[in-house]
Amino acid sequence: MSKKASCGGVARNEHGEWLKGFSYALSSCSAKMAEAWVILKGIKFVKTLVSNNICFECNSKMITYAISQGARLDSTMNNILDASRRELSNIRSWHLGLVPRDINHAADHLAKMRTRQKGDAAYFEELKAAFFQTKEVSQLVQVVMKIDCTSSPW
């Protein structure tokens, strides 16, 4: 089933700490299509920060497998996955790992924020800028980031 979608992601350093975040509004699409888009958008975003030794995380087994193994899906999704593979070919060392959705709270929050706000894209230089509604929300998200970090396979 298709509906208005969004995607978001977090760039972290080797210790799992916040570097920058992003969120994008997407047109109506399925959850799997949104997962494909977030990988492509995330690759392009992270390439502006670092050029090699990059670990990407995705909570879609199908998308992770399709990108890693070159598997073909439907034609629209193949275009996005092919673009992701082309972007990855310019990165010297990368890894795409499958992570459970429940340890990726910060990225999910950024995606949900985009559905409630105007504009196509947002970039967050600081953690507090991404969650500026209240100090309590900012503190909560810092806790969530720590939980994500301790659960993540870094």
What class is the 3-151 domain?
alpha beta
Tens place of pLDDT per residue across the chain (154 aa): 446 788 888 888 777 777 888 888 888 888 889 889 999 999 999 888 887 788 888 888 999 999 999 899 888 899 999 999 999 998 888 888 888 877 777 777 778 777 666 668 878 777 655 554 545 555 555 655 555 555 444 4
User: Whose structure tokens read 């890894």?
Assistant: 95
* Predicted TM-score (pTM) of this structure: 0.77
Rounded to whole angstroms, the Cα distance separating 51 from 7 reads 22
Do the Cβ atoms of 131 and 141 come closer than 8 Å? yes
